[in-house]
């Protein structure tokens, strides 16, 4: 069998490759949103954070010739936006949703303004682990090119699960997310814990942006995020606020994102717009499936989205 005779076998291989390539941003943003929502706050502004992280990582990688410095800078850019979001969202009578929309516009504006100079230059991308060199098929080799950021995200998911279930600070986060009044009675600083959760979540979202611009698709453009930051909110609901489930959901969304390009690779171009819209359709289906109050509240932090 030669490379050209793989035929339809190239479709699942391409989906696997797309899953590994496209899952990292979903994973980092959803883990960040999971941490934030566990503390009782919603951060819709992670879409802007994702864009700012992507632009910052690309610019710093280009200027310093170090992609890992770009990743760090993307995380720090997320920290900056997270601090703003934490301060605004904890003002009296301020809606999380309104702040989130404002932060989307603010983060996107920053990325577009400072990123114009970096649309054309070529930044140094992140290195990859090539685990498929044992095979003579380029499709297999391509499918097993793994980003180190994806591996880091895979490690973070169980660590975050353990953090919530087995550590004192994880208990603090869950306490302020479920019952801020009870947390205050325990002597826990609700504002401090929520600020830390929002900032850490934004840091992870910034890293997700770095994965976009320094790995896949590996460039900087104003539409690079394609709404992945907003889809991560639905993904967290789908995952029932469990970091491990966020991992599986991110892989599922990444695979859905790869369906359209994989079918086009074997000559199926009909309904390509429908297949390319698979992640958005999944988001819509999840939103509809979880609109029941009983289902929506299953696993949800008790004070999520309230001004308590």
| DSSP collapsed to 3 states, 211-235 | HHHHCCCCCCCCCCCCCHHHHHHHH
Interatomic CA distance for residues 30 and 149, integer angstroms: 14
Q: What are the tens digits of pLDDT across the range 66-119?
A: 999 999 999 999 999 999 999 999 998 888 999 999 999 999 999 999 999 998
Q: What are the tens digits of pLDDT across the range 24-81?
A: 999 999 999 999 999 999 999 999 999 999 999 999 999 999 999 999 999 999 999 9
Predicted TM-score (pTM) of the model is: 0.92
Q: What are the tens digits of pLDDT across the range 159-208?
A: 999 999 999 999 999 999 999 999 999 999 999 999 999 999 999 999 99
């Amino acid at each position: 069998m030669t490379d050209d005779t793989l035929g339809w076998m190239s479709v699942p291989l391409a989906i696997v490759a797309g899953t590994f390539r496209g899952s990292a941003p979903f994973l980092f943003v959803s883990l960040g949103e999971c941490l934030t929502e566990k503390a009782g706050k919603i951060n819709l502004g992670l879409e802007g954070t994702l864009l700012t992280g992507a632009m910052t990582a690309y610019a710093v990688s280009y200027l310093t010739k170090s992609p890992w410095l770009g990743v760090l800078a993307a995380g720090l850019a997320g920290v900056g936006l997270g601090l703003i979001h934490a301060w605004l969202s904890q003002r009296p009578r301020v809606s999380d949703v309104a702040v989130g929309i404002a932060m989307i516009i603010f983060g996107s504006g920053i990325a577009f303004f400072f990123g114009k100079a970096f649309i054309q230059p070529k930044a140094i991308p992140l290195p990859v682990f090539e685990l498929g060199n044992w095979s003579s098929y380029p499709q297999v080799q391509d499918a097993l090119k793994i980003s180190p950021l994806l591996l880091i995200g895979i490690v973070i998911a169980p660590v975050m699960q353990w953090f919530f279930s087995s550590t004192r600070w994880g208990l603090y986060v869950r306490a302020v997310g479920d019952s801020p009044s009870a947390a205050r009675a325990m002597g826990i600083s609700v504002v401090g814990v929520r600020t830390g959760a929002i900032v850490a979540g934004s840091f992870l979202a910034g890293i997700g942006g770095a994965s976009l611009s320094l790995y896949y698709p590996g460039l900087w453009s104003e539409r690079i995020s394609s709404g992945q930051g907003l889809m991560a909110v639905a993904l967290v609901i789908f995952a029932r606020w469990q970091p491990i489930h966020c991992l599986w959901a991110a892989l599922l969304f990444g695979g859905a994102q790869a369906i359209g390009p994989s079918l086009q690779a074997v000559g199926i171009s009909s309904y390509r717009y429908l297949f390319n819209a698979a992640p958005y359709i999944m988001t819509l289906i999840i939103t509809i499936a979880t609109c029941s109050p009983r289902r929506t509240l299953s696993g949800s932090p008790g004070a999520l989205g309230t001004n308590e």
